Amino acid sequence: MLNNFIVGAALIAQLTGLGLPAVLVEETFYIPPTYDQVNDTVLEIEPSPRLPLAIPPPKKITESNGPEDIGSRAAIAVDKNSGKILWQKNAEEPMPIASITKLMNVLVFLDHNPGWNHMHSISNDENWLIGARLPAGEGEQFSTYDLLRTALVGSRNNAALALAHSTEISDDIYKQLMNEKARMLGMNDSTFVEPTGLEEGNQSTAQDLVKLAKAAFARDVIREPLGMDYHRMKRTDSDEEIAIKNTNKLITWGDAFMIGGKTGYTDEAGFCLLSLNTDEWGHEIIVAVLGVEDDNERFYETQDIVEWVYNNYNWE
């Protein structure tokens, strides 16, 4: 199968006039991990071919060097379709990413989803987590559907850990799967140690997070809840409604450019936001701001970066 692809790539090179190395670039192949539940091990399967797409990038139309007064430790803006970096600051510096980690958690969960109607009982270990939590008693059951949306919309830590536990994969193997997924996505400067983002060991760079955002926002099951004001659900044993508010204030403020985004905060990481934005013509850009000192400032800085990009670049 792999040899057949190489022959095909050689034919493409001959027809297009490109040399074979131009067709078979480093990222042509990726190895998606899989999980053997019986033996509780991670397996690697045959590499899958992937050819790059040639998409024209936007062109700079002004002399401006970038948005002013961006105080975040690191930031980046990238054209989603072409992958062109439109502006960046310390984008290769690894740092804690807090609850942005939950995006990787959800991607791994989707590979091993036991079913949207699967009910998971909240454990004491899940409820002992600090930070934002789903108001749930020990033993109370929630569907994986509600756990996923609660983890993404409200960044609730016990919901995120419960979502991972719903797969019945051990914590050590789940962590390994998160890191394997990172390697598959080309996130070579990223490390994950647990699925909620509470640990400082969950680290990445602004450049790597663009790759995470591309993978996450390509899934409607992630993209849709990240753009919701609230996720509303009922408890399984009563008609009581739980309303989970989006932690991304640019959604609740009704920002004109914001499609959706994942927030994060710990003392070590500061305030963070990884987001997907669009103008009225559908030109989508990914923006990350990391290590901001103030909650609201991460949203203002994201707005400043997005507005600067759309004022200084032209898509033909």
Question: Does some domain include residue 260?
Answer: yes
CATH code for the domain in which residue 185 is found = 3.40.710.10
pLDDT greater than 70 at residue 24: no
pLDDT of 103-127, one tens digit each? 999 999 999 999 999 999 999 999 9
Question: Does some domain include residue 9?
Answer: no
Number of domains observed in the structure of the chain: 1
Please state, as a whole number, how many other Cβ atoms lie within 10 Å of the Cβ of residue 188: 11
Question: Does some domain include residue 12?
Answer: no
Q: What is the mean pLDDT of residues 17-38?
A: 46
Question: Does some domain include residue 261?
Answer: yes
What is the model's pLDDT at position 103?
98
What is the model's pLDDT at position 133?
86
Confidence of residue 25 (pLDDT cuts 50, 70, 90): very low
Task: Give me the DSSP letters along 53-85.
Answer: P--PPPEE-S---S-S---SSEEEEEETTT--E
List the domain range (segments joined by +) for residue 267.
Answer: 58-314
- pTM score of the predicted model: 0.84
pLDDT of 86-100, one tens digit each? 999 999 999 999 999
What is the model's pLDDT at position 100?
98
Long-range Cβ contacts of 27-34 (<8 Å, 24+ apart): 27/52, 27/186, 28/52, 30/184, 30/185, 30/186, 31/184, 32/184, 33/177, 33/180, 33/181, 33/184, 34/111
Question: Does some domain include residue 39?
Answer: no
pLDDT greater than 60 at residue 8: no
Confidence of residue 175 (pLDDT cuts 50, 70, 90): very high
What is the model's pLDDT at position 16?
40
Name the E strands within the chain. Answer: 29-30, 33-36, 41-44, 48-49, 59-60, 74-79, 85-89, 95-96, 119-121, 141-143, 203-204, 230-234, 241-245, 258-266, 270-278, 284-292, 313-314
Question: Does some domain include residue 32?
Answer: no
Question: Does some domain include residue 2?
Answer: no
Buried residues in 279-306 as b, exposed as e (16+ CB within 10 A): beeebebbbbbbbbeeeebbbbbbbbbb
Q: What is the mean pLDDT of residues 47-52?
A: 50
Question: Does some domain include residue 183?
Answer: yes
Q: Percent of the chain, pLDDT > 70?
A: 83
51: DSSP letter: P
